[in-house]
Every structure is written in structure tokens, then in C-alpha cells.
A and B are shown apart, each in its own frame.
Chain A
Amino acid sequence: MQTSTFATSLTIIISTLLVMSLSAAVIYFLFLYQKKKFRHQQELIEMREAFNHVLLQSKLAIQEQTLNHISKELHANFSHLVSLININLSEILPKSPAGQRENILETKSLAKQLMSELKALSANLNTDHIINIGFVQALQNELNRLAKTGRYDVSITKTGEEYRMQPEHEIILFRLCQEVLNNVVKYAKASKVVSKLSFSDDNFILTIADNGDGFDIDQALKQSGEKQSTGLLNMRKRASLINADLNITSHSGDGTIVTINIPHPQILKTYAV
């Protein structure tokens, strides 16, 4: 009797342990499989991000090439034509009756103005020129053009010791600023544009603020799909491409402040390593 009791107890305990081990194995397999699935998902996300990054870089490269081409066309072809108009006007001027001279002089002045505008536009579109003069000067030129329109009170302040960023980063940053200023002109109904550039050992902070109508950022992002407007998304993508932190603060009626924070080029190099 004693032996059979012991044997029964042992059988129950062993079978329980066996079934428990099998159950634990099933659970372990489940967790292991899910872990592998999770790792696979992470790899997919990384691959997708890398692909998007390359795609965006190619898009920007194509865009820069196009802008360069337009810039060269403006400089070589259009400027040449305007110069010819000016020369023709100069030739006509002495032969023309006194009553028309005033008009011809006015047209000559307009042609000169057109020439200088064309040159400025060509310079702004030309990547090599922007790399040559640097981001700060290029932005200053862009703001000067804005001020010349007479519709805006433009101010620019600079703090800290200025340094150059990587040329391709400067181009992307400049295009980003052009997008911001373009938005000010198109939508803001502002009268004042304030730009602050702050260079420090850790980062470069650029702030562009206007006193316009402002907008609801969340709503604008939601409506971007309906209106097929990609301005805000493009700005964010460009910022992420140069590891910049883009922050837009705006409320209806309160104007808009765009802040771009870029780590110092040395720090960015450390990241890359």
C-alpha cells in the first residue's frame, strides 16, 4: 500500500512537471518568435527611413540642379536681352523727339531695375553663389530684397562668433528660410519681419518672426492633405535632413515664430562617426 501511494504521488508529480515544462516551452517559443518579429519590424523601419532619406536627398539634388539651370539662364540669357534693350534705348534716345525722351528715360531706368532684380534672383537661385557667399550673407540678401519691396520692416540681428556649416547644410537651411519667407509674403499679411541669428559653441539658433495673422498649426497640418499643400511637411523634412530641430509657434492673430536649432558642425561630425 505504501509503495503504491508513493508511486501514485510520484507519477502525478512527474506528469505535472512534464506538462508544466511543455507549457513553459510553448510560452518561451511565443516570446522568442515575437521578439524576432519585433527585431524584423525595427529593421524594416530603419530601411524605410534610410530609403526616404536617400529619396529626399535625390529630390533636393534634382531641385538644386533645376534652380542652378534657371539661375544660369536668367543670368546669361535674360540679362543679355535686358542689356540689349538698354543699348537700343540709348541709341534711340538722341534721335527721338523731345516729348518722348522722358518716357524713354523712364523705360531705361525700369530696364536697369529689372536687370538688378534679375541678377539678385539669379544669385539667390545659384547654389554655387550661395556656397560662395555663405548662408548668413545669402539670408541677409534675401531679407534685403524683402525690405526693398517697401511692404515690410525687416531687421536682422546676429550674436556670437559666426562660423560656416557644411555647404550642403547651408544650402538646405537657406532653402528652408526661403520657404519661411515665402510663407510670410504669401499668407502672413505681416508688416514686420525680425530675424535673429545666434551662434554658440553648441548650436546655431535661427529665429524668424513676423507680426502677421498667424495660423493654427494642427489645423494646417490636417488640411495639408486636402489642399495638397506640402510646405510645412517639406520644411520638417528639410530640417530633419540636416539634423535641425524645427519649431513653429503660431496662434491666429498673434504672428508666427519659426525657430531652427542646428547643432554645431563639430557635434554633427561626432554624431556621424
Chain B
Amino acid sequence: MQRFFSYEYMYLLPLLLSAILSLKTFRPGWPKQYRLFAVLIWTTLLAEALANLWIHKLHNMFGWDYSRNNLWIYNFYFLIRLVLLASIFYQILYEPRTKKIVYGVTIGLIVFGLADYFIIQSPFQYNTYSVISCHVTLIALCLCYFRQLLQAPGIIVLHKEPMIWMTLGTFLYQSASLPFLIMFGFLNLQHSPLALSLLFINDIFNFIICTCYLISFLCKPQHSQPL
């Protein structure tokens, strides 16, 4: 239990709080995208809990003795995360052409991700190809949403809109952690201690994204005011 008080688990606190707060979106009147966002938070929390428990306990419980490697959980979680985030962006983006592209690209990425998971790189190796393509796609989706906000005829108070905080957190995490994640797979194979020593970068951005998610659930959806 003591080990969970280490700085690398700090992001679990805002994540847990946002998961609790996200339950309010299941009340009547909240649009679908906020519910999907709540599902994303709960999936993240469960994935994190499972991955951490796998390393420390689950891998050798009930008489079995598997590897401590929990990358198979994270690799699969990335695919679920992509599906949920793409569904949210599908809901919040208005342009039909963009929606079609989101739909097509997401299906393509899932197929590629599954191939990468089971055939190309295997579940126990960091799935760099699919992770990088997912990151780039999500960055593009965040930018599409920002563009939509800039072009919208109406106006909303940005810092009070939950979707803004969700997109900000996602955009910051996906873009800033990209250089590290591009190198992570390679470093993990070539120089594992160095890869692990640089994991603090991912921990910092994990904390930032979870804090953004927490803030987003402290806000209420805004109604656009026409100009």
C-alpha cells in the first residue's frame, strides 16, 4: 500500500476524483458525449488499477505465474481509449465531412491496432506503431475541435466548458508525450533502465491530463450565445 504514495501514482488521485464526479453525467439531461467521457474515465481508472495490481499481485495469484509485464493491458487500453475519444469527437464535431473521416480513420486504426497487438509487435511489447498513429489522430481531432470553436458563430466561456478541459488535457498529453513515446519502444528494447528513468515525463503528463479531466467534471455544459 505504501508504494501507492509515491509521486508516480499521484495522477491516480485526480483520476479517482474525476471518476466519482463523472457519475453526475448519468443523470437525465446530460448529452451523450459527456456520458462517453465518463465511461472513458472509468475505463482509464480500471485499466490503471488492473495494470498496477498486475505488477504487484495479480501476475502470480491463484497459483499461476505469468510475467510481471503489464504492457498487454496498456496496449489494449490504448485501443479502447481511441474508440471512446473518437466517439466523443464524433459527437462534438459538427462538420459531416470531418465526421465521416473520423469514422473511417477510427475503424482503420482499430484494425491496425489489433493487428499490431496480436501479430506485428505482440501484446507484451510496447505497440509503438499503433500508439503513435493513435496519438497523431487524437492530436488532429483536438485541433479540429479548436478550429470549430474558432469558427463557430456563437460564443462560450471556454474555461467553464467541460469539453474544453477534456480536449485541452488530451491535446497537451498526446502532443507533449509524443517525443517520449516515439522513443520509448526503442529505448525499452535497447536500454531498458534509461526508458524507465524517463518514465517521469509520462507521469507528469498523466497528472496534467487527469487534473484537466477533474476540472472538466467540476464545470457545467455551456450553451453557445449567438453573436
- Contact surface of A with B, Cβ cutoff 8 Å: 5, 8-9, 12-13, 15-16, 19-20, 22-24, 26-27, 30-31, 33-34, 37-38, 40-41, 44
Once A19-B176, A20-B176, A27-B172 are accepted as A-B contacts, the answer to whether A13 and B194 lie under 8 Å apart by CB is: no
**Which residues on B sit within 8 Å (CB–CB) of A12?**
179-180, 183, 198, 201
- A263 CA to B156 CA in the complex, in Å? 35
Main secondary structure of the interface of A (DSSP, over half): helix
Question: Are B146 and A30 within 8 A (Cβ)?
Answer: yes
Closest B residue to A4 using CB positions? B191
B 113-139 binary contact with A (CB < 8 Å = 1; else 0): 000000000000000000000000000
Once A26-B146, A34-B149 are accepted as A-B contacts, the answer to whether A8 and B187 lie under 8 Å apart by CB is: yes
- A40 CA to B178 CA in the complex, in Å? 37
Q: A19-B178, A19-B179, A20-B175 are in contact. List 16 more A-B contacts (CB 8 A).
A: A8-B194, A12-B201, A19-B175, A19-B176, A20-B176, A23-B172, A26-B146, A27-B171, A27-B172, A30-B146, A30-B150, A34-B156, A34-B158, A37-B227, A40-B227, A41-B225
Closest A residue to B183 using CB positions? A12
The number of residues on chain B lying at the interface, defined by a beta carbon within 8 Å of a beta carbon of chain A, is: 27
Question: Are A16 and B155 within 8 A (Cβ)?
Answer: no
Question: Are B177 and A23 within 8 A (Cβ)?
Answer: no
Asked if B168 is an interface residue, CB under 8 A from chain A, the answer is: yes
**Which residues on A sit within 8 Å (CB–CB) of B198?**
9, 12-13
**Which residues on A sit within 8 Å (CB–CB) of B183?**
8, 12
- Contact surface of B with A, Cβ cutoff 8 Å: 143, 146, 149-150, 155-159, 168, 171-172, 175-180, 183, 187, 191, 194, 197-198, 201, 225, 227
What are 24 A-B pairs with beta-carbon distances under 8 A?
A8-B187, A8-B194, A9-B197, A12-B179, A12-B180, A13-B198, A16-B177, A16-B201, A19-B176, A19-B179, A23-B176, A27-B171, A27-B172, A30-B146, A30-B158, A31-B158, A34-B150, A34-B158, A37-B155, A38-B155, A38-B157, A40-B227, A41-B155, A44-B227
- A5 CA to B194 CA in the complex, in Å? 7
**Which residues on A sit within 8 Å (CB–CB) of B180?**
12, 16
Closest B residue to A35 using CB positions? B158
What distance in Å separates the Cβ of A11 from its nearest Cβ neighbour in chain B? Answer: 8
Closest B residue to A44 using CB positions? B227
- A22 CA to B175 CA in the complex, in Å? 9
**Which residues on A sit within 8 Å (CB–CB) of B168?**
27
- A162 CA to B187 CA in the complex, in Å? 89
- A26 CA to B176 CA in the complex, in Å? 12
**Which residues on B sit within 8 Å (CB–CB) of A37?**
155, 227
**Which residues on A sit within 8 Å (CB–CB) of B158?**
30-31, 34
What distance in Å separates the Cβ of A163 from its nearest Cβ neighbour in chain B? Answer: 41
- A20 CA to B156 CA in the complex, in Å? 25
Closest B residue to A5 using CB positions? B194
- A16 CA to B177 CA in the complex, in Å? 6
**Which residues on A sit within 8 Å (CB–CB) of B227?**
37, 40-41, 44
Closest A residue to B164 using CB positions? A30
Name the contact of B149 in the complex, choosing from A19, A30, A44 (C-beta under 8 A): A30
**Which residues on A sit within 8 Å (CB–CB) of B149?**
30, 34
- Which of the listed residues B159, B171, B176, B194 has the most CB atoms from chain A within 10 Å of its own CB? B176
| Shortest Cβ-Cβ A-B pairs, 4 listed | A15-B179, A20-B176, A23-B175, A16-B179
Closest A residue to B201 using CB positions? A16
- A20 CA to B171 CA in the complex, in Å? 10
What distance in Å separates the Cβ of B151 from its nearest Cβ neighbour in chain A? Answer: 10
- A38 CA to B161 CA in the complex, in Å? 15
Closest B residue to A40 using CB positions? B227
**Which residues on A sit within 8 Å (CB–CB) of B177?**
16
**Which residues on B sit within 8 Å (CB–CB) of A5?**
191, 194
Once A37-B155, A41-B225 are accepted as A-B contacts, the answer to whether A16 and B176 lie under 8 Å apart by CB is: yes
